[in-house]
Amino acid sequence: MREFTEFSGPMINWPRVEVMKDVPEVLAELHEEWKLCLATNAVDSSEEEIRAALRRAGLDLLLDKVYCFRKIGHKKPSRQFFEYVLKDLGVHRSRVIMIGDDFESDILGAVASGIHAIWFNEHSKESEFGEMFETVHDFKSLPQAVSELFKLGRTPPNPI
């Protein structure tokens, strides 16, 4: 979902919501093979409000679970946030890939918790790569990046 800085409060109440380019198609492709979850630091919305905003944008059926600060009580990049998600999913951290647009919170937080990650950086040409993470600049390239991580044996599927 695109964030609009001029709006405040729960996204479900915003005058408009907008899905980022290529997101529905890419999520539909990934959802054929993997369980997809949303992990957010949003402080204004409950899980139900986030689901309602996703429904408004036509994305709710593509996401199996929603993890939010208001339910967990911790924000990314805290280890507690990621441990909550792993425990709830009931999977080992080696079976999860965190895909996020905030390098500090999403990527470094996941890696510090032993979770592989893909940084989606659409705002600049900056790229970061490490043993446990890589960068993509185009949302359409996510399925290939996830597939490559899986083929390399680094991480079995289960992106969040």
Query: Sign of the C-alpha dihedral, residues 52, 21, 28, 146?
Result: negative
Tell me the pTM: 0.89
20-49 per-residue burial string, b: 16 or more CB within 10 A, e: under 16: eeebeebbebbeeebbbbbbbbbebbbbeb
Containing 23, the helix (H) or strand (E) segment is helix 23-31
Note down pLDDT in tens along the chain; length 160 residues: 888 999 999 999 999 999 999 999 999 999 999 999 999 999 999 999 999 999 999 999 999 999 999 999 999 999 999 999 999 999 999 889 999 999 999 999 999 999 999 999 999 999 998 889 999 999 999 999 998 876 655 544 455 5
Terminal Cα-to-Cα distance of the chain (whole angstroms) = 15
Beta strands in 3-158 (DSSP E): 37-40, 65-68, 97-100, 116-120, 133-136
Amino acid at 53: A
Q: Name the nearest CA neighbour of 149 among 104, 102, 96.
A: 96
Amino acid at 159: P
Domains of the chain as residue ranges with CATH: 11-151 (3.40.50.1000)
Q: The tokens of 19 are what? A: 């899905």
Q: The tokens of 13 are what? A: 């109440």
